[in-house]
Amino acid sequence: MTTRRLVLTRSAAVIGAASSGLLLPQIVRAQSDKVRVGFMLPYTGTFAQLGVAIENGFRMAINEQGGKLGGREIEYFKVDDESNPAKGIENANRLVQRDKVDVLVGTVHSGVQMGIHRVARESGVLNLIPNAGVHIATRAQCAPNVFRTSFSNSQPTLALGKAMVDRGHKKAVWITWNYAAGDEAFEGFEQSYTAAGGTIVKKLGLPFPNVEFQALLTEIASLKPDAVACFFAGGGAAKFLKDYAAAGLNKSIQLYGSGFLTEGVLEAAGDAANGVLTTMHYSDSLDTPRNKQFRLEYAKTFKLQPDVYAVQGYDTGLLLVKGANAVKGDLGNKKALYAAMEGATIDSPRGKWTMSKAHNPIQDMYLRKVENKENKVIGIAQKAVADSGAGCRMG
Amino acid sequence: MDFANFLIQLLNSLQYGLLLFMLAAGLTLIFGIMGVVNLAHGSFYMLGAYLAWALTAQFNSLTLAIVVGCVLALVFGWLLEWLLFRHFYKRDHLDQVLLTFGLIYIFEELRSILWGDDVHSVAVPEAVSQSIQLTENLSYPVYRLVVSGVCIALALGLYGLISKTRLGMKIRAGAFNREMAEALGINIRLIHGVVFALGVTLAAIAGMVAAPLSSVYPGMGSSVLIMCFVVVVIGGIGSVRGALVAALLVGLVDTFGKVLVPQIAGMAVYMLMAGVLLYKPEGLFKQ
């Protein structure tokens, strides 16, 4: 469909130019054309719902502007990245080279993100990351044209340490999958927990995405720590919560985690999740007028309840709107565009946040407790949490 | 690690090993008797788990769900053998790998269309939902013991079927020398259908009894598939007895590896496999 329409409009333009005998200057042509926005998101597979939520959120932010960016119409392009890292570069190139997008929005999976990242750095196309928390994208390999609107993998756990020690839990066991996201989450936990005066008794791990936790739970019971901190997400998280409760550990050892432990799995985990404490940049139950208004609008438009991924997609839209408005839709004016996005304050459903120098959000982290299948906010665990951005030099 | 903990970890590894055996038994049977490399075996585990979830919601009883699920799995396995696999027995292993690799994607998509991409949980039956207090802060879910019991019962049943019954004799004859068995009037096509359906059902049962323990999620088949192949390779391809020994061994190494040397937990099982293959290139129990 898209290609056929493209051929038609292009041939019409060529005929038009030929008949009038005029060749318009490049910049005027770019101005009058539509802004080309490409989504590279998972539309199939385990993360399919995340991709849909992100796109919905993004479109909602744009529709609040009358469906335009800095006064210009938008043409959307979509590529399903299948959460397949092996096709990351190829898929990103499809949007950048074939569809010639001005903005590439993507993605969820950190491995795929690295493919997009390479293409973005080589081509200079503006890339907005609506989820993937892989550190290097806003650290050693940060780039002027790459902005993240979600989190870095260590950000939620950076707020965890103090909250744990404040509750008198000074000896903890850490447990996660041995893979990049788990290691990065551990970095945040180790830093914040030891700084707050806590001691990590033991670091336990199992290969991703192994879910046979029983041996490690037995080990935790024999170590008798004050608390357990963890990073798990998705199906594995539900299973961990259930196994932890079935082993009776939830009665004597408080469980903490990065917020993804209890996102989207509370229905599956049931009562086993009750009382678990997590830190994250959002919660469905966040009791602010901004969040309530967002949730109402989203539910009305899409007949779905929004989640943290929808919020991140929405914020990606808000950020792009800020930038595009500042340059009146001329996305070719990169210097002014990036400066506007760097300086923007995003009035998000999660609360106001700003961009760090390395292009990662500086945001509040909430402490949340699971009650009746809901992440109840019990306060701000830490205000204005920033990723270190270590090694970032904007070229 | 004190003695009590050591015993509990032993129990953990036994339980994990038995579940692995259920899966690997079907895989090794199908390979040993029909010579088919079945990469889609993990998908049967996943479909079993989803069946348990869907049927439990229907009947309000996991036991009934498992019984109905078994019948469905048998029929499904039979149909699959009849429609697809029987045309591939004489083909190259590469063709079989391509077929079964494609099936993985088809089953994932079917699962997505039928049941969606959500993570689900299956409730443990009321009668066995309690836990036994083992140490001051650790309890052991009774359901885990039930799962082990089911696995042991099925392992004994399988042993009895293959070594003590007439059908088992025919199966062994067919595996040993197909032409001779056919010449003696054994309907080898029928035997193949039975064995394939049996293998699929074993994997599905493993998925069904594990569903309350593991929760039900997309892609759960692919993670067990690799472990399954490790077990089959260590045990000797085609040997059910080998699969049992190897599964228990893998359970032990995996469990104690995770606890004692967490740094190499991911590698421990593969190191075991490499070690075994170094000294016994055809696995522990050669067919």
Q: Specify whether A381 is located in the same domain as A254.
A: yes
Assign 3-class secondary structure to B63-93.
HHHHHHHHHHHHHHHHHHHHHCHHHCCCCCH
Max intra-chain CA distance, chain B: 65
Helix, strand, coil percentages for chain A (3-state, nearest 5):
45, 20, 30
Does any domain span residue A327?
yes
Boundaries of domain holding B70: 13-123+141-219
HSE-up (13 A, CA, CB side) for residue A268: 29
Does any domain span residue B165?
yes
Q: Which of A48, A221, A239 sits opposite B138 (nearest CB)?
A: A221
Residue type for position A88? G
Does any domain span residue A18?
no
Does any domain span residue B41?
yes
Q: Specify whether A298 is located in the same domain as A349.
A: yes
CB atoms within 10 A of CB A190: 18
Q: Which of B131, B135, B262 sits opposite A203 (nearest CB)?
A: B262
Q: Measured between beta carbons, which residues in chain B are less than 8 angstroms from residue A219?
A: 5, 9, 258-259
Q: How confident is the model at residue B261 (pLDDT cuts 50, 70, 90)?
A: confident
Does any domain span residue B67?
yes
> The tokens 């593969």 sit on which residue?
B270
Q: Measured between beta carbons, which residues in chain B are less than 8 angstroms from residue A241?
A: none
Q: Specify whether A295 is located in the same domain as A335.
A: yes
Would you call A201 an interface residue with chain B, using a CB distance cutoff of 8 Å?
A: no
* Chain centroid to CA A119: 19
Say yes or no to pLDDT of B286 above 80: no
From chain A residues 244-273, the ones with a CB under 8 A of any chain B CB are: 246-249, 251-253, 264-265, 267-270
Query: pLDDT at position B287, please?
Result: 61
From chain B residues 36-95, the ones with a CB under 8 A of any chain A CB are: none
Boundaries of domain holding A39: 34-151+288-355
ipTM at complex level: 0.77
CA pair distance A41, A63, nearest whole angstrom:
20
Q: Specify whether A225 is located in the same domain as A209.
A: yes
Contact predicate A317/A59, CB 8 Å:
yes
CA pair distance A39, B215, nearest whole angstrom:
32
Q: What is the pLDDT along chain A (395 residues), one digit of tens a residue?
A: 445 555 545 544 444 444 444 444 444 444 558 999 999 999 987 788 889 999 999 999 999 999 999 999 999 999 999 888 999 999 999 999 999 999 999 899 999 999 999 999 999 999 999 999 999 999 999 999 999 999 999 999 999 999 999 999 999 999 998 888 899 999 999 999 999 999 999 999 887 777 889 999 999 999 999 999 999 987 788 889 989 998 999 999 999 999 999 998 888 888 999 999 999 999 999 999 999 999 999 999 999 999 999 999 999 999 999 999 999 999 999 999 999 999 999 999 999 999 999 999 999 999 999 999 999 999 999 999 999 999 999 86
Q: Specify whether A171 is located in the same domain as A94.
A: no
Does any domain span residue A181?
yes
**CATH code, domain with A72:** 3.40.50.2300
Question: Best residue in B215, B216, B252, B254 to probe A by mutation, most A CBs within 10 Å?
Answer: B215
Which residue stretches of chain B are H helix? 3-34, 41-59, 62-83, 93-115, 142-164, 166-176, 178-183, 188-214, 220-235, 240-260, 265-279
Does any domain span residue A16?
no
Give the three-state DSSP class for A381: strand
- The dihedrals phi and psi of A213, each to the nearest 5 degrees, come to -90, -10
Our CA-based measurement puts residue B278 at a distance from the nearest CA of chain A, in whole angstroms, of 24
Q: Specify whether A57 is located in the same domain as A108.
A: yes
Does any domain span residue B2?
no
Query: pLDDT at position A22, please?
Result: 44
Q: Specify whether A194 is located in the same domain as A276.
A: yes
Does any domain span residue B284?
no
Concatenated DSSP letters of B84-132: TGGGSTTS-HHHHHHHHHHHHHHHHHHHHHHH-S--B--PPPGGG--EE
Residue type for position A140? A
Q: Measured between beta carbons, which residues in chain B are less than 8 angstroms from residue A203?
A: 262
Does any domain span residue A305?
yes
Q: Specify whether A128 is located in the same domain as A174.
A: no
Question: Best residue in B214, B220, B264 to probe A by mutation, most A CBs within 10 Å?
Answer: B214
Number of separate domains in chain B: 1
Does any domain span residue B25?
yes
CA pair distance A80, A6, nearest whole angstrom:
20
Number of separate domains in chain A: 2
Q: Encode B200-217: b = buried (16+ Cβ within 10 Å), e = exposed.
A: bbbbbbbbbbbbbbbbbb
Our CA-based measurement puts residue A38 at a distance from the nearest CA of chain B, in whole angstroms, of 25
Q: Which of B2, B117, B135 sits opposite A46 (nearest CB)?
A: B117
The reply to whether residue A215 touches residue B12, judged by beta carbons under 8 angstroms, is yes
Beta strands, E only, chain A: 35-41, 74-80, 103-105, 126-129, 146-148, 171-177, 199-206, 227-231, 254-258, 277-280, 345-348, 351-355, 361-371, 374-385
Contact predicate A157/A188, CB 8 Å:
yes
**Per-residue pLDDT tens over the stretch A71-95:** 999 999 999 998 889 999 999 999 9
- Identify the closest residue of chain A to B141 by CA–CA distance: A246
Does any domain span residue B7?
no
Max intra-chain CA distance, chain A: 84
CA pair distance A331, B91, nearest whole angstrom:
57
Q: Specify whether A166 is located in the same domain as A260.
A: yes
Would you call A44 an interface residue with chain B, using a CB distance cutoff of 8 Å?
A: yes
The reply to whether residue B259 touches residue A269, judged by beta carbons under 8 angstroms, is no
Does any domain span residue B81?
yes
Q: Specify whether A171 is located in the same domain as A231.
A: yes
Q: How many residues in total does chain A contain? A: 395
Q: Specify whether A42 is located in the same domain as A57.
A: yes
Q: Specify whether A269 is located in the same domain as A318.
A: no
HSE-up (13 A, CA, CB side) for residue A358: 20
Contact predicate A314/A349, CB 8 Å:
yes
Does any domain span residue A180?
yes
- N-to-C CA span, chain A: 39
* Chain centroid to CA A100: 24
**Per-residue pLDDT tens over the stretch B190-217:** 999 999 999 999 999 999 999 888 778 8
HSE-up (13 A, CA, CB side) for residue A218: 25
Q: Measured between beta carbons, which residues in chain B are less than 8 angstroms from residue A221?
A: 5, 135, 137-138
A25-33: which pairs have CB atoms within 8 A and are 24 or more residues apart?
A27/A330, A27/A332, A30/A330, A30/A332, A31/A72, A31/A329, A31/A330, A33/A72
Does any domain span residue A177?
yes
Q: Which of B144, B255, B266 sits opposite A215 (nearest CB)?
A: B255
Q: Tokens representing B76?
A: 């499904």
